[in-house]
Copies of this chain bind each other. A is one copy, B any other.
Amino acid sequence: MKVFIVGLGLIGASYAEGLKQAGHQVYAFNRTESIVDLAIKEGILEKDNHLNKISEADLIILGLYPKHNIEFLKNHLHLLKKGQIITDVSGTKVWMMDEIEKIIPEGITYTSHHPMAGKEVSGYHAKDSNIFKNANFVIVKGKKSQENDEIVLRNIAKDLGFGKITVTTPTKHDELIAFTSQLTHVIAVSLVHSDHLEETKRATGDSYRDLTRIAKINENMWTELFLENKQALLKKINDFEKELDDLKKLIKNDDKESIQTYLKEAKEKRKQFDED
């Protein structure tokens, strides 16, 4: 299959690496052109890579920030051809899919997806297609999705080594991601900010390290993600604050039995999460 990737950041470049290894013909656009040259040199893009190859692609993968994905599409509509499938790897869907659905021409289908994998480092040089091994892959169908899109996306998911594949709606996706991804990042950065002690490092075990690992955040990308999924995220923060406050009250009231029950329930729920 001919694949055109827009943006050779961490995910775009890792896709290029993995898809090339799987035997696809991979082309890409990147704002900084020297990165494209490097990617060709490193053998993860075809040698005859240039922007108008987008017209020949079976699948176009948008790998920029949501706003830049929309902007890129607007500027390159004239290069698209009937029968092509567009997808993207963004972390929020409702808002961006709506914008993209408004502008794509007749005869071109669009099905979004979300690779549930990442790193605390970003950019081309952080690329590593191994991050996808057994990771979750969420396909998000919208108003311009066609049956065939799902088959194509399932195939590239397999080629990249992903594990469980789930098909869902933009609204449900954003709700899930607000919880599993955005809320966890909000918690991690808040926790780091709430450290008012000089000796923290010398007294810490694995817990604090694990809970704050993702605070090493790409601040531009995550600010966009938070704001584009604002309503769902605010709801999840509120849900979490409510639970935290309930537990705080139990501790304040020395309610030993209720704390034990609360902790036991959390343990059981978390253990179910580990099961396959």
Binding site for B on A (CB under 8 A): 114, 116-118, 135-136, 138, 164, 166, 168, 172-173, 175-177, 179-181, 183-197, 199-217, 219-220, 222-223, 226-227, 230, 233-234, 236-237, 239-248, 251-252, 254, 256, 259-267, 269-271, 273
Contacts and interface: CB of A to CB of B under 8 A. Distances in A.
Q: So how many copies of this chain end up in the complex?
A: 2
A2 B211 CA distance: 39
A264 B233 CA distance: 20
Contact of A203 (B136, B219, B230, B242): B136
A189 B263 contact: yes
A207 B230 contact: no
A106 to B, nearest CB: 32
Contacts of A211: 184, 187-188, 210-211, 214
Given A136-B205, A220-B260, 19 more contacts: A118-B205, A136-B203, A168-B199, A172-B199, A176-B197, A176-B200, A179-B194, A180-B204, A180-B207, A181-B207, A184-B191, A184-B207, A190-B243, A191-B243, A193-B266, A215-B266, A217-B267, A219-B267, A234-B252
Given A205-B116, A213-B210, A215-B266, A240 B184 contact: no
Given A226-B259, A251-B234, A208 B180 contact: yes
16 contacts: A117-B206, A136-B202, A136-B203, A136-B205, A179-B195, A179-B200, A180-B200, A181-B208, A184-B211, A188-B266, A193-B269, A194-B242, A213-B270, A216-B267, A227-B251, A234-B252
